[in-house]
Amino acid sequence: MLKQILFIGLTSSLFFLYPDVSNAQTSLRSSEGGVRVSQQIPEDKRQLIEEFLELTGGERTFQQVSQAMLSQMEQQFGAMLNSDLGSQQLSPQERQQMAANLSREMNRITQKYNRLFLERIDYQKIVEQVYYPLYDKYFSKEDLQVLIDFYQSPTGQKTIEVMPQLLQESIQRTTQVIGPTITSIMQEIITEELKRLNR
């Protein structure tokens, strides 16, 4: 039963974080018509995009946002498991033991995920395949220069400094607002799936 709860909860958490993963390749291909491959972007514009990304702490920000998402997944998963354990016919001691086991397993899984994520995600590939084409699509050279000028100003530097924390806190607060609804929905699904698996 522990494995079933862990599996359903983990897959549900991943679905919450990455709802469109299954359509990612299709979406990428379908949007390529309006986005140039990074090698086709004029060199002077590539340099402006690169300067902008370096100035705004591209890789560091990417990692911080990824960590915030992982932390949120962990919290959401924990809330769903606690909710599910409350609905099980268990003694207080059994409930406490199962909660400790689930917490330990979730911690092990998220640490492994974090390690593999950092090992396997190539930030430079993301820059080439995502950032360069999209900044090229939505910003002119003049726009990029204005952005660079702004981010070199004191206010721009403050924006860069607080943005990761701002994003993390906005994710946390959004989760606090919608968390009970998400937990309720996932609890309903987990309960139904556990009943189905136990038939």
Domain ranges of the chain: 41-162
- pLDDT at position 16: 47
Biggest alpha carbon distance in the chain? 67
- The DSSP code for 171 is H
Give helix 2-17 / helix 154-197 axis angle, nearest 10°: 140
Least confident of 19-23, 63-67, 70-74, 174-178: 19-23
pLDDT band at 80 (very low <50, low <70, confident <90, very high): low
Around Cβ 127, how many Cβ atoms within 10 Å? 19
pTM, to two decimals: 0.61
- pLDDT at position 22: 43
Q: Which residue has the tokens 């390690």?
A: 115
- pLDDT at position 78: 67
Please give the structure tokens belonging to residue 91.
């003694």
128 neighbors 30 (Cβ within 8 angstroms): no
Q: Dihedral, CA atoms, 66, 71, 73, 77, nearest 10 degrees?
A: 170
Task: Report, as an integer, the average pLDDT of 123-147.
Answer: 93
146 neighbors 153 (Cβ within 8 angstroms): no
Give helix 154-197 / helix 58-87 axis angle, nearest 10°: 30
Of 143 and 72, which is predicted with more confidence?
A: 143
pLDDT at 158 over 90: yes
Of 173 and 75, which is predicted with more confidence?
A: 173
Which residues, other chains included, contact 70 with Cβ-Cβ below 8 Å and sequence gap of 6+?
110, 113, 114, 117
8 neighbors 190 (Cβ within 8 angstroms): yes
